[in-house]
């Protein structure tokens, strides 16, 4: 059962349990109390339901107010103790040995100390972080967090990962790496992000693996986190994904490359231009301007402009404009007439960007083309004019 299905089942189970308990309460109240006092069964049942619901609302109200009160008490208690704890932690992070006083504080307000420690770990780097990590280990917090990671509760595992991620790597490396293979995708995501904070050689590749095997959301988030490690990934991880033969992983890798928008010296993109799957051909065309160019590439783009798939032709028009392939002008002019509105619009934009020859064609189309083509041509010219005006205007 997938985590999503498990979680949906849990929601339904909770609903049924709550409703069952509610119905049981109604029956109990009706049978044990009201039935003997109210002669009409309808009235007795109706009042039982109303009373139980009133009791539920009252319980919720009480719970809400008590919870608010407890939160308030905790906040005020923490407000009293935390300044002192913070001061001690700051001194400890700066290198002063005041372990004894901190241990004393640990006995009286462990929860507040843990919160302050986490807060400090967020802020300090270098030797300060090492000192505080060691302190967390001495105080038993690290062991406690490692134990919490074995919890069946996903939220607890996630928050544990977030805490372990703050420590110096030697205290958390193994747990974080184990978390990359967790059952729950959100835990894997948290661990991957934690690892990337202080990434060691080879770890970015593992995170890249999590990204291409994950959902689109995971990929979107990790794509941004992996941005600083792109060159390292270009050496081995990305080509392996591109050559994996698995369409989904290859598409995922191409998506990420496109999002990075950086020049990447990777192998494995060119063969995809002739892949049987149109979506892969199109995705490869979108990233082709970002990879090292080789002889024969222009020919491949021109070939793609005549591809049977409209998605591929549209991507080829993008590529032709980005790579300034002037030989593509006749094919793009044909796209204006023969393709659907979206591709024609892309072709129009490409023509507008491909110098005087492309713009002359567009100008001609505004006069001689059909109303739809003329409109696309005019719009493309209008766009380039507006973008020029924006560049010139201070």
Partner 1 sequence: MSWWAAVESTFYFFERTIILYVAAINSIYFLLMVLGFFALRHYRAGLRPEERSILLNSPMLPEVDILVPAYNEAKTIVESVKALLNLHYANHHVVVINDGSKDETLQILIEQFHLCRSARRPDGELPTRPIRAVYRSRSPIRLTVIDKENGGKADALNAGLNVARGTLVAAVDSDSLLEPDALSNVIEPFVQYPGSVIACGGIIRVVNGCSVEHGRVTRIATPRAIIPLFQTVEYLRAFLGGRLAFSFLNCLLLISGAFGVFRRDALVEAGGFLITTVGEDMELVVRLHKRWRTKAAGYSIFFVPEPVCWTEVPESWRVLHQQRNRWQRGTVETLAAHRDMFFRPRFGAPGLFAIPYFAFFEMLGPAVELAGYLVTGVGMALRLISVEIAISFFVVSILFGILLSMSAVMLEEFTVRRYPSIGDLGRLLGAAVLENFGYRQVLAIWRVQGVWDAFRGKAGWGTMERRGFKRRTAAA
Q: Which of 95, 107, 390, 392 binds partner 1 (CB under 8 A)?
A: 390
The smaller minimum CB distance to partner 1, of residues 84 and 290, is found at 290
Residues in the chain: 394
Q: Does 342 bind partner 1 (CB under 8 A)?
A: yes
Of 79-87, 120-128, 216-224, 298-306, the segment contacting partner 1 by CB under 8 A is: 216-224
CB of 184 closer than 8 Å to CB of 215: no
Q: By rule CB under 8 A, what count of residues binds partner 1?
A: 56
Query: In the block, which residue shows the tokens 């409209």?
Result: 310
- Alpha-helical (H) ranges within 124-168 are 126-138, 141-149, 154-164
From the CB of 67, what's the least distance to partner 1, in Å?
9
Nearer to partner 1, 64 or 177 (CB): 64
Choose which of 182, 203, 225, 365 interacts with partner 1 (CB under 8 A).
Answer: 225
> CB-based contacts of 298: which residues, under 8 Å, 6+ apart?
323, 325, 327
Cβ(51)–Cβ(37) below 8 Å: no
Site string for partner 1, 133-162 (x = CB under 8 A): ---------------------xx-------
3-state secondary structure of 41: helix
> How is residue 191 written in tokens?
């661990």
With contacts defined by CB under 8 A, name the span among 34-42, 93-101, 286-294, 321-329 that binds partner 1: 34-42
Here the tokens at position 155 are 């939220």
Residue 216 structure tokens: 């689109």
Q: 80 to each of 62, 75, 83, 105, how far by Cα in Å?
A: 27, 9, 7, 13
Instruction: Report the nearest approach of partner 1 to the CB of residue 91 (Å).
Output: 30
Instruction: Find the binder of partner 1 among 64, 151, 177, 181 (CB under 8 A).
Output: 64
| 237 CB neighbour count, 10 Å cutoff | 23
CA distance 86 to 71: 21
**What are 138's two structure tokens?**
């001495």
Cα–Cα distance between 137 and 106 in angstroms, integer? 13
Among 50, 69, 73, 104, binds partner 1 (CB under 8 A): 50
Closest CA to 6 of 171, 152, 222: 152
- What is the Cα–Cα distance from 14 to 7, expressed in whole angstroms? 11
Instruction: Return the structure tokens found at 384.
Output: 């380039």
Q: Which pair of structure tokens corresponds to residue 374?
A: 């003329």
Pattern of binders to partner 1 over 81-120, x per CB under 8 A?
----------------------------------------
Q: What is the closest distance, in whole angstroms, from the C-beta atom of residue 186 to partner 1 in the complex? A: 8
Q: Is position 39 an interface residue for partner 1 (rule: CB under 8 A)?
A: yes
Pick 193 or 281: Cβ nearer partner 1: 193
Q: Which stretch binds partner 1 (CB under 8 A): 169-177, 199-207, 325-333, 373-381?
A: 373-381
Residues 389 and 1: their CA atoms lie apart, in Å, by 57
Instruction: Give the residue with the Cβ less far from partner 1, 155 or 293.
Output: 155
Looking at 40, 76, 294, 295, which residue binds partner 1 (CB under 8 A)? Answer: 40
Angle between helices 154-164 and 169-179 (to 10 degrees): 150
Q: Is 61 in the site for partner 1 (CB under 8 A)?
A: yes
Token digits of residue 31: 């049978």
Interacting residue with partner 1 among 42, 95, 108, 152 (CB under 8 A): 42
| Shortest Cβ 105–partner 1 spacing (Å) | 29
Q: Hey, is 291 helix, strand or coil?
A: strand
Sole binder of partner 1 in the list 165, 189, 226, 257 (CB under 8 A): 189
CB atoms within 10 A of CB 310: 16
Can residue 276 be called a binding residue for partner 1 (CB under 8 A)? no
Cross-strand bridge partners of residue 291: 264
38, 78, 90, 98: which one binds partner 1 (CB under 8 A): 38
Residues that bind partner 1 (CB under 8 A): 7-8, 10-12, 14-15, 18-19, 22, 38-40, 42-43, 46-47, 49-50, 53-54, 56-57, 60-61, 64, 154-155, 186, 189, 215-217, 219-221, 223-225, 255, 258-259, 261, 341-342, 345, 371-372, 375, 378-379, 381-382, 386, 389-390
């Amino acid at each position: 059962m997938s985590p999503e299905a498990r979680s949906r089942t849990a929601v339904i189970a909770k609903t049924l349990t709550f409703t069952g308990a509610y119905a049981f309460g109604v029956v109990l109240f009706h049978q044990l109390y009201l039935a003997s006092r109210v002669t009409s069964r309808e009235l007795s049942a109706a009042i039982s339901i109303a009373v139980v619901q009133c009791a539920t609302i009252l319980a919720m109200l009480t719970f809400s107010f008590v919870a608010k009160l407890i939160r308030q008490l905790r906040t005020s208690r923490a407000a009293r103790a935390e300044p002192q704890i913070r001061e001690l932690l700051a001194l400890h992070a700066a290198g002063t040995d005041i372990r004894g006083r901190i241990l004393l504080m640990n006995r009286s307000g462990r929860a507040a100390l843990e919160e302050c420690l986490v807060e400090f770990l967020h802020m300090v780097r270098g030797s300060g972080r090492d000192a505080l990590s060691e302190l967390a280990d001495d105080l038993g917090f690290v062991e406690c967090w490692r134990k919490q990671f074995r919890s069946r509760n996903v939220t607890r595992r996630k928050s544990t990962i977030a805490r372990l991620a703050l420590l110096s790597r030697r205290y958390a490396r193994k747990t974080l790496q184990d978390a990359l293979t967790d059952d729950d995708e959100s835990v894997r995501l948290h661990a991957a992000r934690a690892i990337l904070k202080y990434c060691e050689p080879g770890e970015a590749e593992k995170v890249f693996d999590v990204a291409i095997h994950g959902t689109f959301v995971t990929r979107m988030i990790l794509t941004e986190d992996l941005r600083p490690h792109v060159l390292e990934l270009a050496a081995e991880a990305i080509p392996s994904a591109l050559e994996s033969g698995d369409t989904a992983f290859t598409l995922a890798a191409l998506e990420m490359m496109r999002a990075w928008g950086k020049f990447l010296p990777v192998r494995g993109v060119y063969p995809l231009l002739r892949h049987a799957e149109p979506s892969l051909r199109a995705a490869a065309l979108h990233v082709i301007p970002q990879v090292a160019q080789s002889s024969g590439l222009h020919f491949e783009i021109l070939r793609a402009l005549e591809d049977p798939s409209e998605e591929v032709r549209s991507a080829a028009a993008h590529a032709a404009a980005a790579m300034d392939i002037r030989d593509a002008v006749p094919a793009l002019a044909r796209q204006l007439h023969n393709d659907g509105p979206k591709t024609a619009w892309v072709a129009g934009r490409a023509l507008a960007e491909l110098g005087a020859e492309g713009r002359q064609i567009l100008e001609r189309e505004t006069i001689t083309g059909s109303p739809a083509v003329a409109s696309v041509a005019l719009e493309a010219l209008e766009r380039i004019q507006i973008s020029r005006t924006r560049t010139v205007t201070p």
